[in-house]
């Protein structure tokens, strides 16, 4: 499921391109090949199968081990949304994130609000990242099974609007100052 979610957000490009941050990228958001070499704009095109292979290798090498930093139980939806975020922001950024600190302090609501800290490219809000983080947030806050609905760390779906509204209010306050 992780790879399919990432594929959905990243989209496939067979030719190298510059992502919204100006980084050479190919396939499903790949910036480094499996040998560690950075993607360059002069690289040859790749097949969708090769892109899927590189995505899988990156998830196994970097994303899955980074999940070991999380010390609280998660449902499958929470795991998948976090893996998608790690793939996008990088393991190093996730390791230092307030999201991880809040999550490991059993502050699931606070962690949920942190999704919207990761919507900027070069200090400007990126529409694509707003959409991605909103979808990841909704997944994170969704119980995986009916039995999960009573767990205290699951934020009720109707609170999604509260989290997003608080974020928007904070955003507009920051833009005025």
Residues identified as active-site: 10, 19
Query: Considering only CA atoms, which of 87, 88, 97, 80 is closest in space to residue 62?
Result: 87
Query: Considering only CA atoms, which of 108, 119, 126 is closest in space to residue 167?
Result: 119
Is residue 144 within 8 A of residue 75, CB to CB? The reply is: yes
Q: Please, what's the b/e burial string for 15-42 (b: 16 or more CB within 10 A of its CB; e: otherwise)?
A: ebeebeeeebbbbbbbeebeeeeebeee
List, in order, residues 6 or more apart from 75 with CB less than 8 Å away.
143, 144, 145, 148, 151, 154
Taking the C-alpha atoms of residue 66 and residue 148, their distance in angstroms, rounded to an integer, is 24
Taking the C-alpha atoms of residue 101 and residue 97, their distance in angstroms, rounded to an integer, is 7
Place of tokens 């800290």: 117
């Amino acid at each position: 499921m992780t790879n399919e979610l990432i594929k959905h957000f990243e989209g496939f490009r067979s030719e190298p391109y510059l992502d919204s941050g100006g980084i050479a990228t190919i396939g499903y958001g790949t910036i480094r090949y499996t040998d560690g070499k950075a993607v360059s704009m002069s690289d040859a095109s790749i097949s969708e199968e090769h892109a899927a292979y590189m995505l899988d290798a990156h998830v196994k090498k970097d994303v899955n081990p980074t999940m070991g930093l999380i010390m609280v139980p998660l449902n499958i939806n929470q795991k998948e949304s976090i893996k998608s975020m790690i793939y996008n922001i990088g393991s190093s950024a996730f390791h230092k994130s307030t999201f991880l600190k809040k999550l490991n302090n059993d502050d699931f609501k606070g962690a949920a609000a942190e999704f919207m800290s990761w919507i900027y490219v070069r200090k400007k809000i990126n529409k694509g990242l707003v959409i991605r983080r909103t979808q990841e947030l909704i997944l994170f806050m969704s119980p995986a099974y009916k039995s999960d609905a009573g767990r205290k760390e699951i934020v009720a779906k109707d609170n999604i609007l509260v989290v997003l509204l608080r974020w928007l209010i904070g955003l507009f306050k920051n833009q005025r100052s």
